[in-house]
Structure 1
Amino acid sequence: MSEYKAFRVELSDKIAHVTINRPDKANSMNADFWTEIIDIFRWADETDEVRVVVLSGAGKHFSAGIDLMLLAQAGSRLGKDVGRNARALRKVILDMQASFNAVDRCSKPVLAAIQGYCLGGGIDLIAACDMRYSTVDAQFSIKEVDMGMAADVGTLQRLPRIIGDGMMRELAYTGRMVDGEEARQIGLVNRTYADQSALLDGVFELARQIASKSPIAVRGSKEMIRYARDHRVEDGLEYIATWNAAMLQSVDLQAAIAAHMGKTQPEFAD
């Protein structure tokens, strides 16, 4: 496992704990963040021992979003030609989208544990995760509107499928702050916890439950859910039929049935 500048990564009991590690900067997303996250989630995807990923932020905040110095640097490199500027900016945006696409496309479930600020790019990031959990006093905001721009790294595309179109529009147009309890009520987070310690305990307990299941079954479930999100029902049914024609031949199915009949806890290979 590589050493990272913007993250801390640990692997224990089949769970990869990925921590945004810039607490002195409220875990804002600098240049290292955007490149390292792709490498980290590629590693998580390709490492059989990893069955679940828990994503958190070090210190008081999950993430305050994109580092404003990074935005300023991008602006300083622009020239006088609008067409060339647009081409350069489009590439920057697509590269940033690729960073969170890596989270979305990871074949392992990704659970976000959120405390303090989750602003702007932080919302883009958690929208790419499978599930989200927070402290009751966490603060969420689609902050881009207050910066004079539209969110462009996934929030407006993924969030309507999580909290609904109308609520997403309200938050995107106003930029207003949502606390953890309201986030739970609108479905942005699945559950809230009293503090950061209880949050991590709760999320890791869920991660351990998932890690104990057949990795073949969990990966298949995630693949089908992602596919169904972007396709018709008929397409999804056709895909799961083809997928399970192979996966139902896995020894995991035999192990699960034997354990169920014997009233024991099954053990699954990576």
Structure 2
Amino acid sequence: MEEYKSLKLIQKSPNSLVYYLYLNRPTHLNALSRDFFTEFPKAISSLDQNPNVAVIILAGSGKHFCSGVDFHTLADVFKETHAADCARSVERLRRHIKFMQEAITALECCRKPMIATVHGACIGGAIDLITACDIRYCSSDAFFSIKEVDLAMTADLGILQRLPSIVGSGNAMELALTGRRFTGSEAKDLCLVSNVFTSKEALEETVKVVADGQEIATKSPLAVIGTKAVLLRSRDLTVEQGLDYVATWNSGALLSDDLKEAISAHSQKRKPKFAKL
């Protein structure tokens, strides 16, 4: 398994199809470093291509999930984009921003379901990360803030594009313009997270059941990746276009052996066994 400077990859049980991807700079509150933006999409791609991975859980090492983009990373970006020619400086800075955006978008591009588990701080760029995940949970000590406005910045890694479809445009506008801190309980009320757990341990135990128990990892991998793909694509389509898209998708997917196995297992009152993807 590849070693990373900013990440840690763990398979907690030998035969499990669930892998844990940890942000692993606990002494820096898991701030997103330059290494992160290079390593993260590579790690996601390797997990996506691994047939022994069905679900990926994104978590943070130490006391906090993530404190956002490392200030040193931002400073380095501005240093490197400085040029005598203003237009060239602008072009280089835009390229850096796009590079950082692509690291976050890797979460959506991944075919496998991504579950974000948040404890402690989830600030700025950390919210970019979780809004690109498919399912989000948090512990009761979690707190959130879209902090970019307080740093004289317009958030540019995906919060402003993804958050409105999750919490509603009015709520997204209020949170992004004020930069205020809000709790896990409010995040649940806003539908930013699906559930809040009393402790980090309770969060981890429940997510393990959801991912690796009788929930996601045991289902048809074709059905799981299809559901994720259709839901994401349908955000940008009318209902009619979305129906056409899923009809095209299923015209191929329904010919798989998974459907036959699911029906056979149901009639025989046994658990289905699906081939890996």
1:40 matched to 2:46? The reply is no
Q: Specify which of 129, 135, 146 is matched with residue 133 of structure 2.
A: 129
Residue in 2 aligned with 1:249? Answer: 255
Q: Deviations over 1:19-64 (max 9, x none)?
A: 0010000000001111111101111111111110000000010000
What is the identity, as a one-letter code, of the residue corresponding to 1:202? T
Q: Specify which of 200, 225, 228 is matched with residue 222 of structure 1.
A: 228
Superposition map of 1:154-233 within 5 A: 154-208=158-212, 209-233=215-239
**Count of residue pairs brought into register by the alignment:** 270
Alignment partners' CA distance in 2, 1:146 and 1:80: 29
What is the identity, as a one-letter code, of the residue corresponding to 2:169? D
Post-superposition offset of 1:81 = 3.2
1:238 matched to 2:244? The reply is yes
Identity %: 44
Post-superposition offset of 1:80 = 4.2
Residue in 2 aligned with 1:52? Answer: 55
What is the identity, as a one-letter code, of the residue corresponding to 2:34? A
1:90 matched to 2:94? The reply is yes
Q: Are the counterparts in 2 of residues 137 and 181 from structure 1 also a CA contact under 8 Å? A: no
Secondary structure (helix, strand or coil) at the match of 1:27 reads coil
Secondary structure (helix, strand or coil) at the match of 2:52 reads coil
Q: Are the counterparts in 2 of residues 118 and 141 from structure 1 also a CA contact under 8 Å? A: yes
What is the Cα-based RMSD across aligned positions, in Å? 1.0
What is the identity, as a one-letter code, of the residue corresponding to 2:264? A
Post-superposition offset of 1:233 = 1.6
Give structure 2 stretches of 5+ with no counterpart.
none
Give structure 1 stretches of 5+ with no counterpart.
none
Q: Deviations over 1:160-198 (max 9, x none)?
A: 011110000000000000111110011010001111111
Stretches of 4+ moved more than 3 A in 1? Answer: none
Residue in 1 aligned with 2:9? Answer: 9
Post-superposition offset of 1:199 = 0.9
Residue in 2 aligned with 1:65? Answer: 68
